[in-house]
Amino acid sequence: MAEETPAPGNGQAAPQMQLALQKIYARDVSFEVPNAPQVFQAEGQPQVQLNLSHKATPIGDNNYEVVLTLTVTCTLNERTAYLAEVHQAGVFSLVGFGQNDLNAVLGSYCPNVLFPYARQIISDLVQNGGFPPLLLQPINFDALYAQQLQQQASQGDAKPALNA
């Protein structure tokens, strides 16, 4: 015989939180070498810059599309050696989450799931483009999300947006 545990105070069972990954896919991939072939003969220390962002969009039935965007720009002697950009996406089903928990999952957990896929695509693009391998270091999305909350609190906006 199954027992139901009522939620305190209202006599109804608390909804159970459920998270399911429905799909992971590369939404957009781009690689450019604007100064080829001269860039392959240039000497100097390359400078690599990583920009990242993510966006969560509700798509109905408790499903959300989360898109993690990584843009890597490598410059050599103040000229662009290469530009690699990946929009790595996933569809996540989230049921039973309160707004704060939902924002936390969409803002930190989902990008953490997507990052290894985007990192691999960037690595492959750079190496297949004729450049030395590029391995992006892990990113602490939990800390980035906490920083975003702190920034919004200092600006007087207590609710984190789904977009980052």
Query: Is pLDDT above 60 for 126?
Result: yes
- What are the tens digits of pLDDT across the range 85-107? 999 999 999 999 999 999 999 99
In a domain, 94, yes or no: yes
In a domain, 161, yes or no: no
- What are the tens digits of pLDDT across the range 16-71? 889 999 999 999 999 999 999 999 999 999 999 999 999 999 998 999 999 999 99
Residue range 116-122: mean pLDDT, rounded: 98
**Domain, as residue range, for 97:** 18-154
Residue range 117-135: mean pLDDT, rounded: 96
| Measured distance CA(29)–CA(71) in Å, rounded | 10
In a domain, 143, yes or no: yes
- Domains of the chain: total: 1
- What are the tens digits of pLDDT across the range 43-57? 999 999 999 999 999
